[in-house]
């Protein structure tokens, strides 16, 4: 078994925190590098924290010399304060990371977008996520795994009243969304993290997309 190395962007988010645990608890990764905006404490012996300027990611290109790159970046327009700032985090930072991953010839690039991602959508959020997916396909990396969860369930460091209420509704609605509606089910953040880990262990090339129901299946098959 090949012992791998990994880089995670967005390690402090709702999915990222679970992903750090997934990777560090496995025997497959000897080194895990976490790129963060601010200093954080990591209790995992195989994790190394790097405080970086995301506006100038190219300065840290050497950190992309890893086996797998995981992208869990994401914000909200409310938190970002403007559409331009939102796009910078959810599109520009992701694509800049993808370009450096390609330059380093990483084996797998795994990223979270969103259900309904569509570059032609009338909704700005979905349009940005669609732009991410489209640009990634143009870059032609070795192996790209794109996760499109519906509503994410999980504890966040900052309180978001709207998402808390939506999460409660989403948890209940899971039992009603069956058959062709199954892809619209809300999904727990830890399951998305587990699916990202599982996909990274598969010897697959090309582009792969996973909606919430497929994410759920991936965790049960791993």
For the annotated catalytic residues, the residue numbers are 125, 129
Q: Which two tokens stand for residue 103?
A: 């330059």
The secondary element (H helix, E strand) that includes residue 94 is helix 93-103
Q: Which of 98, 97, 109, 101 is nearest to 206 (CA)?
A: 109
Contact 23, 32 (CB under 8 A): yes
- The residue among 46, 16, 53 whose CA lies nearest residue 147 is 16
C-alpha of 222 from chain center: 18
The enclosing H or E element of 166 equals helix 161-173
Phi and psi torsions of 148, nearest 5°: -115, 70
Is the separation of the CB atoms in 216 and 186 below 8 Å?
no
- Is residue 72 within 8 A of residue 6, CB to CB? The reply is no
């Amino acid at each position: 078994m090949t012992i791998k190395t990994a880089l995670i962007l967005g390690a402090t988010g709702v999915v990222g925190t679970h992903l750090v645990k997934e990777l560090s608890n496995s025997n497959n990764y000897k080194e895990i590098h976490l790129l963060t905006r601010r200093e954080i404490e990591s209790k995992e012996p195989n994790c190394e924290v790097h405080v970086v300027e995301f506006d100038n990611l190219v300065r840290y290109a050497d950190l992309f010399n890893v086996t797998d790159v995981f992208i869990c970046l994401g914000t909200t327009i409310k938190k970002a304060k403007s559409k331009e700032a939102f796009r910078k985090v959810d599109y520009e930072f992701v694509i800049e990371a993808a370009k450096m991953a390609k330059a380093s010839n990483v084996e797998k690039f795994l990223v979270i977008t969103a259900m309904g991602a569509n570059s032609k959508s009338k909704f700005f959020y979905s349009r940005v996520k669609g732009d991410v997916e489209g640009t990634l396909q143009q870059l032609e990396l070795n192996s790209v795994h794109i996760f499109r969860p519906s509503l994410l369930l999980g504890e966040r460091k900052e309180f978001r009243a709207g998402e808390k209420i939506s999460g409660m509704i989403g948890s209940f609605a899971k039992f009603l969304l069956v058959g062709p509606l199954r892809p619209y089910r809300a999904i727990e953040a830890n399951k998305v993290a587990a699916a990202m880990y599982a996909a990274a262990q598969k010897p697959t090339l090309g582009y792969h997309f996973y909606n919430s129901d497929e994410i759920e299946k991936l965790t049960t098959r791993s």
